[in-house]
Chain A
């Protein structure tokens, strides 16, 4: 058993930490190697566990999909709720009923609400995020870059309910008195503004990685041809990093689609189809959050909410997969 007295191993420790117990001098090296390792069975067991956890993430993701689908499809298979009605009914009323004819739930209204909020978020967060990423990657001095990156990470760690709370306190009255959006200031636009700040750190992080990944030759070539810094950034670096920048936007979008607490308290509560982001609305996430307490085990509401979750999952899944493929493209392009 190697000595291990609890110190964190440093490079110099390698020798002493790894020293096997001294073997009787008479044995040959070959015999020593062939000897079964002490504690070998335990090692094999632990390694099996490690292999098991390796695929655990796959199991988890598939498990999420399977469970959502299993619970959600009950709506159509067990309760005979019309699929067409689920797609097109213009309202999403989360009544706890076990009779399909009394259930007035369609996904289109929450879906549109989610899309409105996401649109507002992207319109705000993508330019802001990209501009910030350009600033910290290309323009800011290294010390400033570090501080801002840390600040962005702090921003990413702030609970979204806090954003929602401050938004309710500051933004809603302002919007209500100045513009009269939505219901008392609570609208998709209001929520979108706040969610933009929730999504922007992610966009910054990925866009910054993408810009940093552009090889230094690109810049040098641009300067050699007489570009100033702005021209180098705009005509050379950003186009080179475009895949990563696009991925950043996509992952920001996925973040916005999945946001619940801020929209729950800021977007208003209109569960029907909305034709403008300035309306009060209720997104898919808010529908699930506000309806789940009402959903007894016997009602159509429970499977309907799981179906809504499934749609959410599908949107974020496909967005993430495409973003990853796009990022992979950039990785391949710049790997040497």
Chain B
């Protein structure tokens, strides 16, 4: 190799140039981040800035700020895969009413959705559990004030493989199965087969709901899921697992069951206690209180959606609580909030 002069000075100069570039990058990056925060997770509708690094959504335009606006642009909803079937139908109807609007929903799970909301990545979080104080604190730390809108009430169906014919389960038996205290189907009137417990994963609001409002409600506040439960990525994944596993058990909202082929899984009738009748999950049994495993489905926004900066958020939430939006909930066997 040809002799070279010592490169130290050059490296130093290069280092200086690199440092300057990094500083420039950080400055640009902070601008983008700052703009994200300013939008408050909304899409910067009323400001004229067009930030290059948006939260994955393009800035929508509102041609007027009156009540009858021509809406266009994009809206992101992130969160629960239990709420997702409802959201998808609502979006279809909403987009039908407002051409030029695209609304998309992600299925990261209630936890993922709330995290996205906290991080300013999505203006609406869909959740199948109530937001926790801890998360409200985190949102507040980021400048968001959490506002809860109840969409509907959902029954949580307990599903097993179609060939599993157990006649019913009580609320307490369900809790004990998921807590690992009952481990064989024969203990609850089924075949002699070890129970394979499938659950949602920790991102899921349903996961938390079952732990807090089923297991702990039945067995005490120290109880928790069995250590050996098999966590699935989302509701459809768990339903797929149970549809192939004769020993499996899982839980899912009625909206999720509507999304899979009929007969792929079997819903087990649940009795509130040994004395009550076991009933199937449906909006009637939820309303009457006979079906013991039910909960609310929520959208979380920054502040009251009726006063939100983003007209798309205002319009969408208004649609959800309107008669039309509630009718969609009924279609999915959910109990309307109104």
**A–B contact via C-beta, under 8 angstroms:** yes
**Does A52 contact B11, Cβ atoms closer than 8 Å?**
yes
Q: Which of A98, A102, A185 has the largest count of B CB atoms less than 10 A from its CB?
A: A98
**Any A CB within 8 A of the CB of B109:** yes
**Any B CB within 8 A of the CB of A176:** yes
Which residues B201-235 have CB closer than 8 A to chain A? 201-203, 227-233
**Does A290 contact B203, Cβ atoms closer than 8 Å?**
yes
**Any B CB within 8 A of the CB of A186:** yes
**Does B115 contact A270, Cβ atoms closer than 8 Å?**
no
Q: Which of B13, B111, B244 has the largest count of A CB atoms less than 10 A from its CB?
A: B111
Using an 8 Å CB-CB cutoff, how does the interface string of A80-111 with B read, 1 for contact, 0 for none?
00000000001101111111001000000000
Given contacts A51-B7, A270-B230, A298-B137, 9 further A-B contacts (CB under 8 A): A94-B202, A186-B230, A269-B199, A269-B233, A290-B201, A290-B233, A293-B115, A296-B118, A297-B142
**Does A90 contact B11, Cβ atoms closer than 8 Å?**
no
Q: How far is B244's CA from A299's CA once the two chains are assembled, in angstroms?
A: 36
How close is A295's CB to chain B, nearest CB, in angstroms?
7
Using an 8 Å CB-CB cutoff, how does the interface string of A254-282 with B read, 1 for contact, 0 for none?
00000000001000111111000001101
**Does B196 contact A183, Cβ atoms closer than 8 Å?**
yes
How close is B82's CB to chain A, nearest CB, in angstroms?
15
Specify which chain B residues have a CB less than 8 angstroms from the CB of A184 in the assembled complex. Answer: 196, 198, 230, 241, 244-245, 248
Using an 8 Å CB-CB cutoff, how does the interface string of A24-57 with B read, 1 for contact, 0 for none?
0000000000000000000010011101100100
**Does A91 contact B227, Cβ atoms closer than 8 Å?**
yes
Q: How far is B196's CA from A269's CA once the two chains are assembled, in angstroms?
A: 12
A-side interface residues, number (CB < 8 Å): 43
Closest B residue, CB atoms, query A53: B14
Q: Do A297 and B14 contact each other (CB < 8 Å), given the known contacts A51-B7, A176-B244, A184-B196?
A: no
**Any B CB within 8 A of the CB of A150:** no
How close is A276's CB to chain B, nearest CB, in angstroms?
12
Q: How far is B13's CA from A273's CA once the two chains are assembled, in angstroms?
A: 52
Which residues A166-203 have CB closer than 8 A to chain B? 173, 176, 182-186
How close is A1's CB to chain B, nearest CB, in angstroms?
20
Which residues B163-204 have CB closer than 8 A to chain A? 196, 198-199, 201-203
**Does A98 contact B134, Cβ atoms closer than 8 Å?**
yes
User: Would you list the 9 A-B pairs with minimal beta carbon distance, nearest first?
Assistant: A269-B231, A184-B245, A272-B227, A183-B230, A296-B115, A293-B112, A52-B14, A298-B138, A294-B203
**Does B230 contact A293, Cβ atoms closer than 8 Å?**
no
Specify which chain A residues have a CB less than 8 angstroms from the CB of B109 in the assembled complex. Answer: 293-294
Closest B residue, CB atoms, query A264: B233
Specify which chain A residues have a CB less than 8 angstroms from the CB of B112 in the assembled complex. Answer: 293-294
Specify which chain A residues have a CB less than 8 angstroms from the CB of B137 in the assembled complex. Answer: 98, 298
Q: How far is B151's CA from A335's CA once the two chains are assembled, in angstroms?
A: 74
Specify which chain A residues have a CB less than 8 angstroms from the CB of B48 in the assembled complex. Answer: none
Using an 8 Å CB-CB cutoff, how does the interface string of A286-324 with B read, 1 for contact, 0 for none?
000011011111110000000000000000000000000
How close is B11's CB to chain A, nearest CB, in angstroms?
6
Q: How far is B142's CA from A98's CA once the two chains are assembled, in angstroms?
A: 14
Q: How far is B109's CA from A183's CA once the two chains are assembled, in angstroms?
A: 22
Q: How far is B201's CA from A191's CA once the two chains are assembled, in angstroms?
A: 19
Q: How far is B141's CA from A295's CA once the two chains are assembled, in angstroms?
A: 15
**Does A290 contact B231, Cβ atoms closer than 8 Å?**
yes
Specify which chain A residues have a CB less than 8 angstroms from the CB of B108 in the assembled complex. Answer: 293-294
How close is A32's CB to chain B, nearest CB, in angstroms?
18
**Any A CB within 8 A of the CB of B135:** yes
Specify which chain A residues have a CB less than 8 angstroms from the CB of B134 in the assembled complex. Answer: 97-99, 102
**Does B230 contact A269, Cβ atoms closer than 8 Å?**
yes
Q: How far is B115's CA from A298's CA once the two chains are assembled, in angstroms?
A: 9
How close is A85's CB to chain B, nearest CB, in angstroms?
16
**Does A291 contact B115, Cβ atoms closer than 8 Å?**
no
**Does B202 contact A183, Cβ atoms closer than 8 Å?**
no
Q: How far is B7's CA from A172's CA once the two chains are assembled, in angstroms?
A: 58
Closest A residue, CB atoms, query B233: A290
Specify which chain A residues have a CB less than 8 angstroms from the CB of B102 in the assembled complex. Answer: none
**Any A CB within 8 A of the CB of B10:** yes
Q: Do A294 and B115 contact each other (CB < 8 Å), given the known contacts A93-B202, A98-B134, A184-B244?
A: yes
**Does B230 contact A280, Cβ atoms closer than 8 Å?**
yes
